[in-house]
Amino acid sequence: MPRRRTSLFALATLVAGGIAAAGPAAAQEPLPEKRSLAIGTGGAVATVDPDATRIGLEVLADGGNAADAAVAAAAALGVTEPYSAGIGGGGFFVYHDAATGTVSTIDGRETAPLAMGADAFLDEQGDPLPFQEAVQSGLSVGTPGTPLTWARALELFGTLPLSEALAGATRLADEGFVVDETFRQQTAENEEKFRRFPATVELFLPGGALPEVGTRLRNPDLARTYELLAAEGVEPMYSGALAEDVVRTAQDPTEAPGTAPVRAGLLELGDLERYEALVREPTRIEYRGLEVYGMAPPSSGGSTVGEALNVLERFPLADVPEDAALHHYLEASALAFADRNAYVGDPAHVQVPLAELLSDEFAAERACGIAPDRALTKPLPAGDPDGEYGPCPAEAAATPPAGQEGPSTTHLTVADADGNVASYTLTIEQTGGSGITVPGRGFLLNNELTDFTFAPADVSTPEPNLPAPGKRPRSSMAPTIVLQDGAPVLALGSPGGATIITTVLQTLVGRVDRDLSLLDAIAAPRASQRNAAAGQAEPGFIEAHGPQLTALGHAFTPTPEIGAATGIELLPGGLLLAAAEPERRGGGSAGVVQDVLVEADGLAPDLG
């Protein structure tokens, strides 16, 4: 987190860098231009992908609002980011509605079949299934929530019918998109998994080979599926022929000849028919005079980001050296993860002490162990959010580590000129999901049910995230919207499994406390401490901060990249600033309806 503001020079470099990176010489077709920063008026969109950003901006330019554009961009990501998002998956939609001044959320989380019991991910000997065996199976497929999320978002907040919101993505699926290096690499990483399922080979390994950078990948099957939804609404996905295809495929995916059969899915038509995208109260905490809204359980995003911020608010992070601020960030994150792992699950199945987890009193108790000159020994025990808080409690047993979560998913942020803001994270869980394509329909099925904890780490400790009939697995997705004096000022989110939480938290600390511009806060090297003996850290983070932080007792495992954030800031005077990764995941794509040139000092007004 370098403490500096984006200069106009830096801005020009990043923008040009984004464009240059997008056009390798070997390309048969040029890749669409993308930039990591855009400032202007009329609305803004930030996604990982230039086609999705363009389609969202077109909707805004045509008079659609942030909800319309978010659905349009998400549908486009189903085409260009099919390994991270699509109608075979789920997600969480957080929305600021300017007309009412309220923040609401839609929980479109995939859901376990009624036939799924607590032992679903144990083998015949009672041992947890190998993770990849569970991923690549019908068993891991939960009822998709994304189609109903789109329908609910449009019905509650939008101005367009689904048919119009899907029009751009349908065209994109028909015409195809130009394969970039990231897409090719993700396909290569999934090749073995994809080759198990002929329908997936047909779709993503054209002619049986990896798609070449610069070639066009079309998905007419998905275009027809979008047309079906445009004509009939999302019902066919939950009770019609499309639903029957989903269920049949999950129950008995067609494998390539000679491939060992995968575990069968438990989904029934009744599971799809009964599925609901739920409107939930957002989580809300106050941080340095700002209101931070996030996603409530079954996501642990809002509660964990919120608890960590409440802990951090007790320390003057703006006034200490950068390494000291990062030390506190890592400690607060570890504490909040201990509590997340112990207490957060689907609220329909477990009592989540959400109000206590987000209370200042609980945060004060949790913060009391943080010392400026030494790191706590991890893993840390969970706290006791029981409403009775006193002096620092005695040491208790360490909380069990969280289950395995994948590094996939995608986040998009949209704001319109009226102050409506959508912060939407969607996923099919692992990159490439289960690897199973619904034949003839053009989309992959999720493996979201592997987000359940397969078996309790310790039988004497309650585990809130075991599978159960009709339960939603705990998520880490953390779409966030920040208000100041009742008006939205910032929205952001990221993919990255459980690192989503730390990416959002670190970016907020960078922007709010360290006075970085949003782009600098997003670009800063990341570390993720999730209550493990060693946190993960990017090489740039280790290089810049490793010696100072390890001297305090922190440990880091290097990892090439953490997260791929996007965000939008609503600047004074009605300007919108959209920011996306300059480099991670090949760089994201930020855009505004109408560009405006701005002096550097306007890029990072004081927040909080």
Which residues are catalytically annotated?
409
Instruction: Pick the closer one to ligand GLU by CB: 64 or 567.
Output: 567
Q: Which of 307, 451, 463, 513 binds ligand GLU (CB under 6 A)?
A: 451
Task: Number of residues interacting with ligand GLU: please give it, by CB under 6 A.
Answer: 16
Verify binding: residue 406, ligand GLU, rule CB under 6 A.
yes
CA–CA separation, 306 vs 303, rounded Å? 5
As a whole number of Å, the end-to-end CA separation of the chain is 18
Q: Which of 36, 219, 304, 409 binds ligand GLU (CB under 6 A)?
A: 409
Verify binding: residue 476, ligand GLU, rule CB under 6 A.
yes
* Contact by Cβ (8 Å): 168, 407: no
Instruction: Pick the closer one to ligand GLU by CB: 109 or 554.
Output: 109
State the Cα torsion 72-73-77-79 to the nearest 10°: 40
DSSP 578-597: EEE-SSGGG--EEEEEEE--
Minimum distance from CB of 37 to ligand GLU (Å)?
24
* Contact by Cβ (8 Å): 376, 334: yes
Q: Are strands 556-558 and 535-537 parallel, antiparallel or unpaired?
A: parallel
Q: Which of 176-184, 245-253, 407-415, 575-583 is the region at the interface with ligand GLU (rule: CB under 6 A)?
A: 407-415
CA–CA separation, 153 vs 502, rounded Å? 27
DSSP letter (8 states) at residue 295: P
Q: Which of 496, 567, 582, 591 binds ligand GLU (CB under 6 A)?
A: 496
Q: Which of 123-131, 267-275, 470-478, 594-602 is the region at the interface with ligand GLU (rule: CB under 6 A)?
A: 470-478
Instruction: Pick the closer one to ligand GLU by CB: 219 or 446.
Output: 446
Nearest to 27 by CA among 180, 208, 211: 180
Q: Which of 78, 282, 294, 497 binds ligand GLU (CB under 6 A)?
A: 497
- Chain residues 498-527 in contact with ligand GLU, contact rule CB under 6 A: 500
State the angle between helix axes of 167-175 and 50-61 in degrees (0 to 180), rounded to the nearest 10: 140
Q: Which of 40, 345, 495, 591 binds ligand GLU (CB under 6 A)?
A: 495
Instruction: Pick the closer one to ligand GLU by CB: 84 or 200.
Output: 84
Instruction: Pick the closer one to ligand GLU by CB: 253 or 406.
Output: 406
Instruction: Pick the closer one to ligand GLU by CB: 145 or 439.
Output: 145
Reduced to 3 states (helix: H, G, I; strand: E, B; else coil), residue 603 is helix
CA–CA separation, 599 vs 333, rounded Å? 35
Backbone angles phi, psi at 450, to 5 degrees: -75, -5
Minimum distance from CB of 244 to ligand GLU (Å)?
26
Question: Which residues, including other chains, have CB under 8 Å from residue 11's CB and lie 6 or more apart?
Answer: 37, 519, 600, 603
Verify binding: residue 477, ligand GLU, rule CB under 6 A.
yes
Q: Which of 271, 429, 513, 569 binds ligand GLU (CB under 6 A)?
A: 429
State the Cα torsion 112-474-107-571 to the nearest 10°: -160
Minimum distance from CB of 563 to ligand GLU (Å)?
9
Nearest to 433 by CA among 422, 444, 425, 449: 444
- Chain residues 529-588 in contact with ligand GLU, contact rule CB under 6 A: none
Reduced to 3 states (helix: H, G, I; strand: E, B; else coil), residue 82 is coil
Minimum distance from CB of 495 to ligand GLU (Å)?
4
* Contact by Cβ (8 Å): 139, 121: yes
DSSP 442-509: --BPP-GGGGS-SS-SSTTS--TT---TTPPPPB----EEEEETTEEEEEEE--STTHHHHHHHHHHI
Instruction: Pick the closer one to ligand GLU by CB: 408 or 502.
Output: 408
Minimum distance from CB of 142 to ligand GLU (Å)?
10
Minimum distance from CB of 408 to ligand GLU (Å)?
4
Nearest to 67 by CA among 109, 35, 34, 99: 99
Q: Which of 195-203, 285-293, 471-479, 550-558 is the region at the interface with ligand GLU (rule: CB under 6 A)?
A: 471-479
Verify binding: residue 407, ligand GLU, rule CB under 6 A.
yes
Verify binding: residue 408, ligand GLU, rule CB under 6 A.
yes
Q: Helix %, strand %, coil % for the chain, to 5? A: 35, 15, 45
Minimum distance from CB of 436 to ligand GLU (Å)?
16
Instruction: Pick the closer one to ligand GLU by CB: 55 or 477.
Output: 477
- Chain residues 366-405 in contact with ligand GLU, contact rule CB under 6 A: 405
Helix/strand/coil (H/E/C) assignment for every residue in 503-536: HHHHHHHHHHHCCCCHHHHHHCCCEECCCCCCEE
Instruction: Pick the closer one to ligand GLU by CB: 65 or 427.
Output: 427
Q: Which of 111, 427, 465, 559 binds ligand GLU (CB under 6 A)?
A: 427
Minimum distance from CB of 405 to ligand GLU (Å)?
5
Instruction: Pick the closer one to ligand GLU by CB: 409 or 413.
Output: 409
Minimum distance from CB of 428 to ligand GLU (Å)?
8
DSSP 98-163: TTTTEEEEEEE--B--TT--TTTTB-TTSPBPPHHHHHSSSTTPPBP-HHHHHHHHHHHH-SS-HH
Minimum distance from CB of 475 to ligand GLU (Å)?
3
Instruction: Pick the closer one to ligand GLU by CB: 14 or 338.
Output: 338
Q: Which of 69-77, 382-390, 458-466, 473-481 is the region at the interface with ligand GLU (rule: CB under 6 A)?
A: 473-481
Q: Which of 329-337, 358-366, 372-380, 495-503 is the region at the interface with ligand GLU (rule: CB under 6 A)?
A: 495-503
Q: Which of 6, 137, 304, 475 binds ligand GLU (CB under 6 A)?
A: 475
Q: Which of 7-15, 173-181, 492-500, 551-559 is the region at the interface with ligand GLU (rule: CB under 6 A)?
A: 492-500
Verify binding: residue 64, ligand GLU, rule CB under 6 A.
no
Residue 503 has which token pair?
Answer: 């990416």
Backbone angles phi, psi at 55, to 5 degrees: -65, -40
CA angle at 42 for the pair 505 and 8, rounded to the nearest 5°:
60
Residue 531 has which token pair?
Answer: 């209550």
Interface positions with ligand GLU (CB under 6 A): 405-409, 427, 429, 448, 451, 475-477, 495-497, 500
